[in-house]
């Protein structure tokens, strides 16, 4: 059984993960509109991942005899300057999610809630992976260059990362 304080904080995290899913979906659509199909697939995959993160929280709250609430989600940003702007926005968003997870972990400790603390460790590892991935992509875009001639190669790279992720092998491409 989780405390009301923990339940509230976990429900806020549901909102954050759902918002992240919608942000990635909007990024996917923007990339598709710009003719970058590989990038669109990459962000669509991440949108689905974030939905999974959200649902994992929903299930946990219910399993822990709490009440999960599906909130209204924020309208995501739908326009970007370029693909580098998209990935940088994704990176900043992941950093905010990480900070939110850390706060939850701290709260679980002050509440002496070892079950929730244990549950949250999965998210701690996941955030490390996500931040590292976005940072590596930003570094690669810097190497490739952000000009219009580079878009094809950036798109190919994101498509390759997506395929690696789909195969379950992690982001070995980078
Ligand atoms: Fe679930 O926030 Fe990213 O991974």
Mean pLDDT score, 141-163: 90
Residue 118's φ and ψ, nearest 5 degrees, are -65, -45
Cβ-based burial of 149 (10 A; exposed 0-12, middle 13-18, buried ≥19): exposed
The tokens for 105 are 């972990």
Find where tokens 């690696």 sit. 164
Predicted confidence (pLDDT) per residue in 46-86, tens digit:
999 999 999 999 999 999 999 999 999 999 999 999 999 99
Tell me how far apart the terminal alpha carbons of the chain are, to the nearest angstrom. 42
CB of 94 closer than 6 A to ligand 1?
Answer: yes
Question: What is the C-alpha to C-alpha distance for residues 16 and 50, in angstroms, rounded to an integer?
Answer: 9
How far out from the chain centre does Cα 51 lie?
9
Please tell me the residue having the least CA distance from ligand 1 atom 1: 50
Cα dihedral sign, 148-150-153-154: negative
Domains of the chain are: 4-167 (1.20.1260.10)
* Dist CA 92 CA 134 (whole Å): 9
In this predicted structure, the answer to whether residue 99 has a pLDDT above a threshold of 70 is yes
Regarding the beta carbon of 165 and ligand 1, being less than 6 Å apart is answered no
Give the Å distance between the CA of 23 and the centre of ligand 1: 11
Does the structure show a pLDDT above 80 at 42? yes
Structure tokens, 104? 């939850």
Residue with tokens 């931040």: 131
50 Cβ inside 6 Å of ligand 1:
yes
User: Which residue in 68, 78, 72, 84 sits closest to 151, CA to CA?
Assistant: 84
Instruction: Give the separation between CA 51 and CA 44, rounded to whole angstroms.
Output: 11
Atom of ligand 1 minimally distant from the CA of 53: 1
Q: Is the entire prediction scored with pTM above 0.85?
A: yes
């Amino acid at each position: 059984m989780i405390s009301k304080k923990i339940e509230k904080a976990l429900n806020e995290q549901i909102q954050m993960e759902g918002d992240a899913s919608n942000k990635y979906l909007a990024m996917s659509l923007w990339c598709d509109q710009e003719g970058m199909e590989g990038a669109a697939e990459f962000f669509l995959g991440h949108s689905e991942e974030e939905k999974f993160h959200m649902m994992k929280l929903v299930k946990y709250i219910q399993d822990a005899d709490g009440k999960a609430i599906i909130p209204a989600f924020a309208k995501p940003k739908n326009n970007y300057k370029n693909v580098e702007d998209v990935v940088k926005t994704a990176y900043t968003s992941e950093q905010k999610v990480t900070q939110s997870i850390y706060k939850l972990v701290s709260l679980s400790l002050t509440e002496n809630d070892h079950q929730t603390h244990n549950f949250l460790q999965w998210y701690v590892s996941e955030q490390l992976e996500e931040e590292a991935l976005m940072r590596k992509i930003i570094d690669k875009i810097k190497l490739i260059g952000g000009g219009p001639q580079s878009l094809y190669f950036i798109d190919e790279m994101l498509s390759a990362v997506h395929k690696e992720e789909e195969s379950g092998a992690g982001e070995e491409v980078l």
